[in-house]
Amino acid sequence: MADFNVNLRCFESVSIIDVKGYLDAHTAPELENVFNKLLNEKKFRVVVNFNELNYISSAGLGVFMAYIETMRQNNGDIKFSNLKDNVYNIFDLLGFPLLYEFYKDEKEAINKFIEQEKS
Amino acid sequence: MIANNLRATLAKRLENTIIISILLVIYNLIFPIHNSLILFLINEVLVFGVLYFLYHYMNSIVETKKESPLSLILNSGILTALIFFIISVTDALFGKNVQENYHADIFNSLISIAIDFVFIVAVIYIFSTLRTLFFLRQVKDQSLYFNTMIIFFAITFFSDLSQVNLSLDFIHDAFYVVSIVLICLNSLKVSWIAFLSKKQKTYLLIISIVLSILFGINFSLLSENTPAKIFLSNFSSGFVSIYSLIMIYGMIYFGIIFFTTLFHMPTAEAFDRKSEEVSSLMDLTKLITQVFDFKELADTVTSITTKVCNSYAAWLVTKVDEEYELNSVKNIAYVDADRLTKKFLQKEEPLTSVNILDSSLLNQFNSGEVLNYKSIAIAPLKVHGEISGYLFAARRHEVNFDEEDKRSIQAFADYAAVALENAKLIAESIEKERLEKELDVARDIQRRILPNKIPESEQLKITAMFIPAFEVGGDYYDFFELSDDKLGFVVADVSGKGITAAFIMAEIKGIFESLAKLIISPTELLIKINEVLKNSLDRKSFVTAVYGIVDKKNGILNFVRAGHPPVIYCSEGKVERLLPSGLGLGLDYSNGFANSLKEMKINLKNGDIIAFYSDGIPEAKNAEYKDYGYDRFEKIIQKNCNKTLDEISNEIIKDLTLFSKDNTQHDDITLVLFRWYSDKN
């Protein structure tokens, strides 16, 4: 099976999750663990960096859907950045960009959070 | 079969014995006094015959009881006492007058014969018992020694010719002495004593000294001129020799047993303990093959540990993700066991051998803190060189665990570790089997859900192809005859896999079937379905779908796409991707979903092909994890657009299989193709 890797970073109040490899039904629980940890620590501002993600399956998409509502209820959000074209197409087909925020670069996503905080 | 054979042999031997005994009785009634050599010899041969057959018969009987040697000994004891009793009674009854003038009248003969037979049976039984004891627990074949002794007994029997010629007496005496020497040698085979428990040894100690003395008395009583001796020697002088030899054998043998047991007494307890260990290990071995339940096995291990280690309490922990999980406790509360485990296993180097916390160490703690335990043994459970957990045994009495305890605990822990690992593996394989069953169920659900008949009309040809993945992928397609002209169709894909996906599929089918005929507009239908799904889909599940209605009269196709891959439309040799906007079902339950849907209408022209499919096609992967993609898909349709639908469908699958041949199929593949003919032909 293809590899999957997840890494968590922080920038000020924003948590950045780097996902890498193949996100599918078998590797999704790893990502869920990270989200659960963030919820426990009450960190609701999340940027997911897809720079090194090669593939996402429907189960992988499900992970974001499961948590984004909770984040939004707590004045946070999950923002998506640095998606490769093929991965973006999968999100796009489903209509994710109509519901969630996508950015070319994680900096933009982080700035968006910081602006929100100031206003 | 074997039991029958044994019974037949027994019966045969008994028969022989009885026949020859009757012969002997008749002979003795006819010739009460054997005063000539011929009469004497015939009598001796008959007596020997009785002894021989009776011995064989007795052997088979006594042999069956060899597992309880003590009861055999007790039986012999009773018979010895009986002999003593008869000798005493005859002495009292007949007294001196028999010694002085023995008359061979019928009364005397009958009494003589009766007493003789009682003696013969008793002596032979005792001898058989001695023989059984001789062979008991012998590792090597010792029959040579015993048979030699029997041969000498036989020679002694026949060499008693004192009646014939007193000067030949020395021959008899010589063989008699040699027999006694052999008896002494054979009496040393008493190793079976070691296997008795302490209680049995104590019992044997008492019974053996009594028996030894009794045999001695019986022997000496018959050396004197008692009435019994006169009865016997008149009956058969050879038997008197055998009688005294066996009495000597009994006396020596039980004398030796007495002393041997006496010397074994101090070690009896240690031996008891060892045999307890061995039997505990055997119990455990049996359990390994019988008990598959991990918890039950763990309970047995702790309970046997208290027995093996002579400890008050025992508990067992296994390593789960670097943490210790308490599996079973015996004579200690869960919380206490947990606390002590954490106390003594904390952050130390893993213990690779048995560790003993003796009283000097435990006394440093508050006695309440260590629950009055004076000594605790911790044994690692090792499987394939890795530590899978620990076994604890705690004593409340003052005796520390010694080296011997350490060894036995380790041996036991090693055994237990294998047993527990075994149980764990079995549990895992059962779980795996359960998952496979679940997969079968999911596949079965899917198979029942998909339509088994594809509708068709003269102008609209349809082909549908479905290839399931190993794990059910959640693809669903269906057709609905809405009216004579209108045909509804859906191609959908449920997120996730396996049985959950299969159940959502079943639900989706139910919703489509009930609503498709009620709501004619595809857009309205999907909006309604999205609302219904709100109550049943969990947050991380969603469904992508294309739903459309085609008019079989005029070829007008209306469809909506909800998050599903684009529809491929091939018209007049040109291929187009139709991608009207639309969110997946279950992503958003507000107006966002309704607002996102854009219905698309197409006027099909003659020969047009339109393809609906699931993402199993564009996302099929090759060995390098490259997607099959839309371009290849469109190209293969374009290339084959003049062939029949079935041929096109086969070409697509062929191309797809070729592309992804080095990778497994991860998702279901669904392909539904429509072709429109404007003219009826």
Contact (CB<8Å) B583/A94: yes
- pLDDT band, residue B346 (cuts 50/70/90): low
Which residues of chain A neighbour B500 with C-beta distances below 8 Å?
Answer: none
Mean pLDDT of A66-81: 91
**Cα gap B479→B455, rounded to integer Å:** 7
Ordered structural domains, chain A, with CATH: 4-118 (3.30.750.24)
Instruction: Supply the pLDDT for residue B11.
Output: 87
Of A2, A62, A94, the CB nearest to B541: A62
pLDDT digits 0-9 by tens, B38-64: 888 888 888 888 889 999 898 888 888
Which residues of chain A neighbour B565 with C-beta distances below 8 Å?
Answer: 93
Name the nearest CA neighbour of B457 among B489, B490, B504. Answer: B489
Q: What tokens were used for B405?
A: 């305890």
Contact (CB<8Å) B495/A98: no
Which residues of chain A neighbour B564 with C-beta distances below 8 Å?
Answer: 93
Instruction: Supply the pLDDT for residue B551.
Output: 93
3-state SS, residue A102 = strand
Distance of residue A57 Cα from the nearest chain B Cα, in angstroms: 8
Q: What tokens were used for A81?
A: 């950045």
Neighbours of B433 (CB within 10 A): 10
- Helix ranges (H only) for B101-142 are 106-135
Neighbours of B539 (CB within 10 A): 13
Contact (CB<8Å) A94/B587: yes
pLDDT digits 0-9 by tens, B258-297: 999 998 888 888 888 777 778 877 877 777 667 778 888 8
Burial class of B663 by CB neighbour count within 10 A (0 to 12, 13 to 18, 19+):
middle
| pLDDT beyond 70 at B99 | no
**Cα gap B433→B441, rounded to integer Å:** 12
Instruction: Supply the pLDDT for residue B678.
Output: 85
On whether the CB atoms of residues B597 and B546 are closer than 8 A, the answer is no
Instruction: Supply the pLDDT for residue B96.
Output: 62
Q: Which helix (H) or strand (E) holds B465?
A: strand B460-467
Instruction: Supply the pLDDT for residue B241.
Output: 87
DSSP B369: T
Mean pLDDT of B161-179: 78
Best of A52, A58, A65 to mutate (most B CBs within 10 Å, chain B): A58
**Cα gap B305→B412, rounded to integer Å:** 8
**Cα gap B643→B650, rounded to integer Å:** 11
Q: What tokens were used for B412?
A: 């036991």
| pLDDT beyond 70 at B362 | yes
Instruction: Supply the pLDDT for residue B549.
Output: 95
Distance of residue B631 Cα from the nearest chain A Cα, in angstroms: 13
Mean pLDDT of B563-571: 94
Which residues of chain B neighbour A25 with C-beta distances below 8 Å?
Answer: 496-497
pLDDT digits 0-9 by tens, B77-94: 999 999 999 888 888 887
Best of B321, B587, B624 to mutate (most A CBs within 10 Å, chain A): B587
Contact (CB<8Å) B666/A98: no
Instruction: Supply the pLDDT for residue B611.
Output: 95
**Cα gap B466→B274, rounded to integer Å:** 68
Question: At a CB cut-off of 8 Å and minimum separation 6, what does B315 contact?
Answer: B302, B326, B328, B329, B330, B332, B337, B341, B391, B392
Question: At a CB cut-off of 8 Å and minimum separation 6, what does B31 contact?
Answer: B39, B43
Name the nearest CA neighbour of B130 among B117, B103, B149. Answer: B149
Burial class of B358 by CB neighbour count within 10 A (0 to 12, 13 to 18, 19+):
middle
**Cα gap A68→A78, rounded to integer Å:** 6
Question: CA of A51: how far to CAs of A48, B374, B594, in Å?
Answer: 9, 62, 32
* Sign of the four-CA dihedral B636, B642, B643, B645: positive
- pLDDT band, residue B98 (cuts 50/70/90): low
Instruction: Supply the pLDDT for residue B238.
Output: 84
**Cα gap A17→A35, rounded to integer Å:** 9
**Cα gap B416→B288, rounded to integer Å:** 9
Q: Which residue of A has its CA nearest to B663?
A: A1
Mean pLDDT of B320-337: 85
Residues in chain A: 119
Which residues of chain B neighbour A62 with C-beta distances below 8 Å?
Answer: 495-496, 540-542
Mean pLDDT of B655-659: 92
**Cα gap B439→B434, rounded to integer Å:** 9
- pLDDT band, residue B165 (cuts 50/70/90): low
Instruction: Supply the pLDDT for residue B253.
Output: 92
Contact (CB<8Å) A65/B496: no
Say which amino acid occupies B346.
Q
On whether the CB atoms of residues B91 and B227 are closer than 8 A, the answer is yes
List residues of B whose CB lies inside 8 A of any A CB: 474, 493, 495-497, 538-542, 544, 563-566, 579, 581-584, 587-588, 592, 596, 621, 625, 627, 666-667
Best of A23, A27, A65, A89 to mutate (most B CBs within 10 Å, chain B): A65
Contact (CB<8Å) B540/A63: yes
Instruction: Supply the pLDDT for residue B2.
Output: 67
B474: left (phi over 0), alpha (psi -120 to 50) or beta: left
Q: How far is CA B394 from the centre of its chain?
A: 29
Instruction: Supply the pLDDT for residue A105.
Output: 92
Instruction: Supply the pLDDT for residue B474.
Output: 87
Residues of B254-267 as b/e, b for ≥16 C-beta within 10 angstroms?
A: bbbbbebbeebeee
On whether the CB atoms of residues B630 and B614 are closer than 8 A, the answer is no
B234: left (phi over 0), alpha (psi -120 to 50) or beta: alpha
Instruction: Supply the pLDDT for residue B157.
Output: 86
Q: What tokens were used for B401?
A: 């665990």
Contact (CB<8Å) A94/B596: no
Best of B495, B541, B626, B631 to mutate (most A CBs within 10 Å, chain A): B495
Instruction: Supply the pLDDT for residue B233.
Output: 80
Name the nearest CA neighbour of B150 among B52, B274, B252, B283. Answer: B52
| pLDDT beyond 90 at B409 | no
* Sign of the four-CA dihedral B232, B238, B242, B247: positive
**Cα gap B26→B32, rounded to integer Å:** 10
3-state SS, residue B536 = coil
pLDDT digits 0-9 by tens, B532-553: 998 888 888 899 999 999 999 8
Residues of B211-246 as b/e, b for ≥16 C-beta within 10 angstroms?
A: bbebbbbbbebbeeebbbbbbbbbbbbbbbbbbbbb
Instruction: Supply the pLDDT for residue B666.
Output: 82
Contact (CB<8Å) B666/A24: yes
Q: Which residue of B has its CA nearest to A58?
A: B495
| pLDDT beyond 70 at B310 | yes
- pLDDT band, residue A20 (cuts 50/70/90): very high
On whether the CB atoms of residues B680 and B618 are closer than 8 A, the answer is no
Which phi and psi (to 5°) does residue B339 adopt?
-65, -45
On whether the CB atoms of residues B570 and B578 are closer than 8 A, the answer is no
The ipTM, to two decimals, is 0.88
Contact (CB<8Å) A94/B493: no
**Cα gap B281→B287, rounded to integer Å:** 10
- Averaged confidence pLDDT in chain B: 86
On whether the CB atoms of residues B246 and B76 are closer than 8 A, the answer is no
| pLDDT beyond 60 at A67 | yes
Which phi and psi (to 5°) does residue B520 adopt?
-80, -35
Question: CA of B500: how far to CAs of B471, B539, B540, B679, in Å?
Answer: 11, 13, 12, 45
Pairs of residues, one from chain A and one from chain B, whose beta carbons lie less than 8 Å apart: 66
On whether the CB atoms of residues B577 and B566 are closer than 8 A, the answer is yes
- pLDDT band, residue B222 (cuts 50/70/90): confident
Which phi and psi (to 5°) does residue B478 adopt?
-160, 160
B305: left (phi over 0), alpha (psi -120 to 50) or beta: alpha
**Cα gap B106→B111, rounded to integer Å:** 9
| pLDDT beyond 60 at A1 | no
Least confident of A18-32, B225-239, B613-627, B656-670: B225-239
DSSP secondary structure string for all residues of B578-641: E----PPBTS--SHHHHHH---EEEE--TT-EEEEE-TTTTT-B-TT--B-HHHHHHHHHHHTT
Instruction: Supply the pLDDT for residue B526.
Output: 94
- pLDDT band, residue B97 (cuts 50/70/90): low
Mean pLDDT of B613-621: 91
Instruction: Supply the pLDDT for residue B650.
Output: 94
Least confident of A34-38, B246-250, B288-292, B352-356: B288-292
Of A25, A57, A94, the CB nearest to B584: A94
